[in-house]
Amino acid sequence: MTTMTQASVREFKMPDVGEGLTEAEILKWYVQPGDTVTDGQVVCEVETAKAAVELPIPYDGVVRELHFPEGTTVDVGTAIIAVDVAGGAGGATPVAEAPAQAQVPAEKQPEEAKPQGRQPVLVGYGVAASSTKRRPRKGADVPPQEPSTAAQALQSELNGHGPAAAVKPPRPLAKPPVRKLAKDLGVDLATVTPTGPDGIITREDVHAAVAPPAPAPEPGPQPAPVAAPAATSAPVATYDAARETRIPVKGVRKATAAAMVGSAFTAPHVTEFVTVDVTRTMKLVEELKQDREFAGLRVNPLLLISKALLVAIKRNPEVNASWDEAAQEIVRKHYVNLGIAAATPRGLIVPNIKDAHTKTLPQLAGALGELVSTAKEGKTSPAAMQGGTVTITNVGVFGVDTGTPILNPGESAILAVGAIKLQPWVHKGKVKPRQVTTLALSFDHRLVDGELGSKVLADVAAILEQPKRLISWA
């Protein structure tokens, strides 16, 4: 008999907050069992492979259970919190929120199912259709079922028939990479014996399913098995916690590692260097700080370096492109989404300024300031890190002279800016102390040949040496 309390329970599932990501780590819970929540209230913060985002609950009620502790990585579509919804209809079954991928426009929902005044607040998260699903009893080891299977089993139980034998077996549990591996190897997951937690099929299980069977013993008497000497046993890896620290690779750092490996071994990198006297640029930075047009804005060398790169791209538009491997085409971009590499506590991220080429110098200063402050607060959205065309990485803030940067995946070039230091420099025929820095430009040699890359880097250097070119070349 389903009670009123059971009927009012709603399960909120991990939505796809990153446009196609398959999992997210729960960083922090803002509520605990017994707390009252309202529609739109943020209940937890999660980190995907792209950014940290806050999740709002889509209904009113009282928190009944948190299914996972902080620090747990959860697959998209998995229930993470149960809420007793106020005013639940008696006799109904518990309702589980459908995964965020199953979006249903509000205007096409039945009238009683339309959310009241609620708007989507996260990328990939909006009004979701609900499906009927019985929650497993506590203590019962019952594998999860697909919504359709659960509904059939529930109907069979309510009709007094018990678990129906004709119900479709539950779908084997496996993560997307494991499913792809099984497909590539021609393995039916239904025939694989799972060894992972909660009956999840692992990569090792799939490989074991295609491993050749052990050879049958030869007929005839077999010698008695002899125990192997202890000295021949395989060495066991040891871990000294006092001397080593193991840090799980996940979230932003895991995504960055995968992206950099993919970029380094996909795009043929070429890096060129130039050392330039930026004394006049540094003087201009100090003058702009006193200009009332820049009052309240962040004015620093990065602002003029960004503008110099944008002007260089305008003079050499062929550099602003991407490689379409599937179509075997070069895609020329008529806009510049300028990425700025930012080091954060969660790892390196590269948000970008959309349509940076259209912005005036004060507008560019405002956009740079907002980008940096948002990144430091850990509030950069996934959308802010998508669609970049070229990137700047300022390694000089760490006192580094220069480097050979790796391209952000899908982009054509990345400019590394080294530390700006007083150095002896020949100026007007005499050796004088001047502000000097080294620039490094890495580019995809499929898109950018040596001549084009050299022109772009030389233009950036020329502008920083004589910033009045911002007027004559812009």
Helices 301-315 and 450-465: crossing angle in degrees, nearest 10, is 140
Question: What average pLDDT does range 455-460 have in this prediction?
Answer: 98
User: What pLDDT score does 90 carry?
Assistant: 38
* Closest by CA position to 313, among listed 226, 391, 227: 391
The region of weakest confidence among 19-28, 46-55, 121-130, 179-188 is 121-130
Task: For tokens 């040496």, name the residue.
Answer: 465
Question: 151 has which bridge partners?
Answer: none
The string of DSSP letters for 320-374 reads SEEEETTTTEEEE-SS--EEE-EEETTEEE--EETTGGG--HHHHHHHHHHHHHH
Q: Are 278 and 464 in contact (CB under 8 A)?
A: yes
| Residues in CB range of 357: below 8 A, 6 or more apart | 310, 313, 314, 335, 336
Question: What average pLDDT does range 366-374 have in this prediction?
Answer: 94
Judged against a pLDDT cut of 60, whether residue 148 lies above it is answered with: no
| Residues in CB range of 73: below 8 A, 6 or more apart | 23, 24, 25, 26, 250
User: What pLDDT score does 40 carry?
Assistant: 87
Q: Are 276 and 396 in contact (CB under 8 A)?
A: no
Judged against a pLDDT cut of 70, whether residue 293 lies above it is answered with: yes
Q: Are 24 and 14 in contact (CB under 8 A)?
A: yes
Domain boundaries, the chain: 4-135, 173-206, 251-473
User: What pLDDT score does 346 carry?
Assistant: 74
d(CA 317, CA 321): 8
Structure tokens at 397: 């803030």
User: What pLDDT score does 103 carry?
Assistant: 40
Per-residue pLDDT reduced to its tens digit, 30-83? 999 999 999 889 999 888 766 778 899 988 999 999 999 998 888 888 999 999
User: What pLDDT score does 253 carry?
Assistant: 67
User: What pLDDT score does 212 carry?
Assistant: 57
User: What pLDDT score does 22 carry?
Assistant: 79
User: What pLDDT score does 34 carry?
Assistant: 92
pLDDT band at 247 (very low <50, low <70, confident <90, very high): confident
Burial class, 103, CB count within 10 angstroms (exposed 0-12 / middle 13-18 / buried 19+): middle
The residue type of 144 is: P
Helices 279-289 and 301-315: crossing angle in degrees, nearest 10, is 120
d(CA 179, CA 201): 9
User: What pLDDT score does 407 carry?
Assistant: 92
What number of other Cβ atoms are within 10 A of residue 331's Cβ?
A: 14
- Which range among 21-35, 125-139, 261-275, 441-455 has the greatest average pLDDT? 441-455
The region of weakest confidence among 104-118, 323-337, 338-352 is 104-118
At the top level of CATH, the class of 4-135 is mainly beta
**CATH code of domain 173-206:** 4.10.320.10
Judged against a pLDDT cut of 50, whether residue 97 lies above it is answered with: no
Give 250's Cβ-side CA count (13 Å radius): 17
Helices 279-289 and 450-465: crossing angle in degrees, nearest 10, is 60
pLDDT band at 224 (very low <50, low <70, confident <90, very high): low
d(CA 408, CA 51): 16
Is 161 catalytic? The answer is no
- Backbone region of residue 175 per phi and psi (left: phi > 0; alpha: psi in -120 to 50; beta: other values): beta
- Out of 161, 207, 427, 445, pick the active-site residue: 445
At the top level of CATH, the class of 251-473 is alpha beta
- Backbone region of residue 325 per phi and psi (left: phi > 0; alpha: psi in -120 to 50; beta: other values): alpha
Structure tokens at 352: 């970008």
CA 165 to centroid of chain Cα atoms: 42
Task: Specify the pTM.
Answer: 0.56
Per-residue pLDDT reduced to its tens digit, 162-217? 444 445 566 788 776 777 677 767 788 888 888 887 788 887 887 787 665 555 55
More confident residue, 253 or 89: 253
Question: 440 has which bridge partners?
Answer: 273, 416
Judged against a pLDDT cut of 70, whether residue 129 lies above it is answered with: no
Structure tokens at 94: 């518990």
Collapsed DSSP state (helix, strand, coil) of residue 121: coil
Mean residue pLDDT of the chain comes to 78
